[in-house]
Amino acid sequence: MGTVDLVSQSFDSVNDTSMISMISVKSQHSFHFCWKCKMTLGETDILDPGLSIHPSTNLTRTMIHPCVDPPLCDNCTRLELSFFDPLCPDCRNILLNPSTTVPQIFAIMRQWTPQTQQSLELLVDEILKRGANINDRDGLTDMTLLHYASKSGAAGIGDPDSAVRIVTMLLDAGADVNIRCRWTNMTALHYAAYFDVVPVLKMLLKATKALDIDSTCSEFEHGTALHIAASNLAHEACKVLLQNGANPTLKDDLGRMPVECVPEPSTFQEDHNMQMLAVKVKKTLSEAMPPVLKQAPSYDLVHSKVTLQALGLTIGEKILVGGVKGGTLRYCGPTEFASGVWAGVELDEPAGKNNGSVGGVCYFNCPNNYGVFAPISKISKMDIIRRSRTPPASHRLSMREMPNVDVSKVTAKIDTGLSRHSSEIVEVNDRVVVAGQRKGTVKFIGKTHFAPGVWYGVELDRPVGKNDGSVNDVRYFDCRPKHGVFAPLTRIQKLGDKMFSSSESLDTISWGAVSERVDRKSMSLHSNRSQTPTRPSPKQQSLNLTRTPGQGPGQILEPGVMVLCNNELELY
């Protein structure tokens, strides 16, 4: 039973002046009460005590009608019935009698019985026939005709079709949809939502263009119509309100959103239908909630700051991810999706994975597909990369000023790895290993649209690639799906003269090509040792030159040693 019904039942039989006085005080409007005729008048109204409201009376001002008891016919009185029955012939005659006053008809309207609510159309018509204003109020409940009509279509009590007809007529006649009951602070929209009268709810939203859809009500802790519907399990009303733009995240004075106002199913232990209804309402409201992004946890970022200082980086600086993708550093620190220190980067192009959020946690904000996370070791300062690729002007000048010197027989004592032998030059159709793991055949060499620089398109032997030779609808070569991959020259390794079978392990492939070159260098050094004695280079000291293809290295890893993990970027 709703708040309105409690008010109606509590004061339905009250006639004493103390209650009427309290209603007048609560209204806080410019009305005063005529004690002789029990009519609430406007300040300028003068009403003769013996004057009754006649159908011909043209009342242009709204008024609050006094509180009286509903009339009863003699037959219903003998049967000791406690309510006026519009279906009783004698009661109906009383209703149609012009001497029956507007306050008496309002008293009949307050009865929460099927007979009364399903006859509300007749009651409203009789009130208007007696010259009442369309926005007049009942002195007991402070409800208008529109308020009564909005709840009269409640399931099991009233008639929704009749309620729609009444509301349509009242709106056409100028009924004010914004009037609030001063007892409950509810508008007609709130009543329709509470009693789940969907046809009336739609009509009221149309009349106000849904501008009042999130208006609050103090009786319900300043919750909205959606809060009210949720608390009373008005499922259909909840759906209509959401469809018309009701905000499911607004909170009432208790800090509750509408979904949190839904009664727990366990409170309806003896009513399975109500339990199911509670589940449905909560599900509907939960699905309407926008995804909630948690903020990044409050970590101790001292380690992250030290790391950035060591790299000479600051948040907001332009960087390169993996030496390939350019972007702006937006975040550096721990994450919930993986251990370690991670860099959050907003890329210059939509080649990322996210919008700065991973697993529902927001680390920074950027457009969709512009965000990417990488280990801190995979990022570098952009100007450092540029300087490493372009020799300083002073170096170029000094080289031009040097006299001609025959350096054909001069060799470095240490293999710097900066030069490539002719046998290591990668060409189309060469067999290569990509990132030390995946072997295939080079099908494309050149510039691309998806990233700057020269890229090598490789058709892999196994379906462990990324594409079919095309990226972003631009085709560079043809191969089967998931057999194509693109990599810079630093990521690929030529297999050389030795061709490996597809059954060989990745370890054999990646280390075999390296060992072949190391073995050749070892033999060359051994043959020249008698002619020109030299000290072993640091590279020769660090590598086991007797290692054969397919065997594991004899190196020992220690803390602080730089290692390469799969030679691939770990991007999320």
Collect all residues with Cβ–Cβ distance below 8 Å to 204 and sequence separation of at least 6.
150, 167, 177, 188, 189, 192
Most confident region among 247-256, 385-394, 490-499 by mean pLDDT: 247-256
Q: What is the pLDDT of residue 74?
A: 92
The lowest-confidence range among 64-73, 147-156, 308-317, 476-485 is 308-317
Collect all residues with Cβ–Cβ distance below 8 Å to 146 and sequence separation of at least 6.
135, 167, 170, 171, 175, 176, 177, 179, 188
Average pLDDT score over residue span 453-480? 91
Angle at which helix 235-243 crosses helix 272-288, to 10 degrees, equals 10
Cα-only R_g, the chain: 42
CATH no. for 425-527: 2.30.30.190
Q: What is the pLDDT of residue 266?
A: 87
What's the chain's length in residues?
572
CATH no. for 1-43+59-196: 1.25.40.20
Collect all residues with Cβ–Cβ distance below 8 Å to 169 and sequence separation of at least 6.
124
Per-residue pLDDT at 43 exceeds 60:
no
CATH no. for 213-289: 1.25.40.20
Per-residue pLDDT at 73 exceeds 90:
yes
Structure tokens, 242: 């959401």
Per-residue pLDDT at 32 exceeds 70:
no
Same fold, 295-385 and 425-527: yes
Average pLDDT score over residue span 389-402? 42
What percentage of residues in the chain have a pLDDT greater than 90? 47
The lowest-confidence range among 21-30, 51-60, 170-179, 344-353 is 21-30
What is the residue extent of each domain of the chain? 1-43+59-196, 213-289, 295-385, 425-527
Q: Which residue has the higher pLDDT, 270 or 549?
A: 270
What percentage of residues in the chain have a pLDDT greater than 70? 67
DSSP 3-state assignment of 349?
coil
Per-residue pLDDT at 414 exceeds 70:
no
Q: Are strands 454-460 and 438-447 parallel, antiparallel or unpaired?
A: antiparallel
Average pLDDT score over residue span 453-476? 90
Q: What is the pLDDT of residue 314?
A: 87
Average pLDDT score over residue span 551-569? 43
Q: Which residues pair with 444 in a beta bridge?
A: 457
Query: Which backbone phi and psi does 286 adopt, to 5 degrees?
Result: -65, -40
| pLDDT tier at 443, thresholds 50, 70, 90 | very high
Which pLDDT tens digit goes with each residue over 319-349?
988 878 889 999 988 888 888 888 999 999 9
DSSP 3-state assignment of 484?
strand
C-beta atoms surrounding 148 within 10 Å: 25
Per-residue pLDDT at 411 exceeds 60:
no
Per-residue pLDDT at 152 exceeds 90:
yes
- For 80-147, give the DSSP string: T--S--TTSHHHHHHHHSTTS-HHHHHHHHT--SHHHHTTHHHHHHHHHHTT--TT-EETTT--BHHH
- The pTM of the full predicted model, rounded to 2 decimals, is 0.49
Average pLDDT score over residue span 179-206? 96
| pLDDT tier at 304, thresholds 50, 70, 90 | confident
Q: Which residue has the higher pLDDT, 226 or 543?
A: 226
The highest-level CATH class for domain 295-385 is mainly beta
Structure tokens, 108: 């009949």
Q: Which residue has the higher pLDDT, 382 or 557?
A: 382
Residue of 205, 259, 256 lying closest to 229 (CA atoms): 259
Residue of 81, 131, 64, 141 lying closest to 110 (CA atoms): 141
Mean pLDDT estimate for the chain: 75
Q: Which residues pair with 144 in a beta bridge?
A: 137
| pLDDT tier at 472, thresholds 50, 70, 90 | confident
Q: What is the pLDDT of residue 300?
A: 54
Instruction: Catalogue the E-assigned strands of 322-370.
Output: 325-333, 342-347, 357-358, 361-362
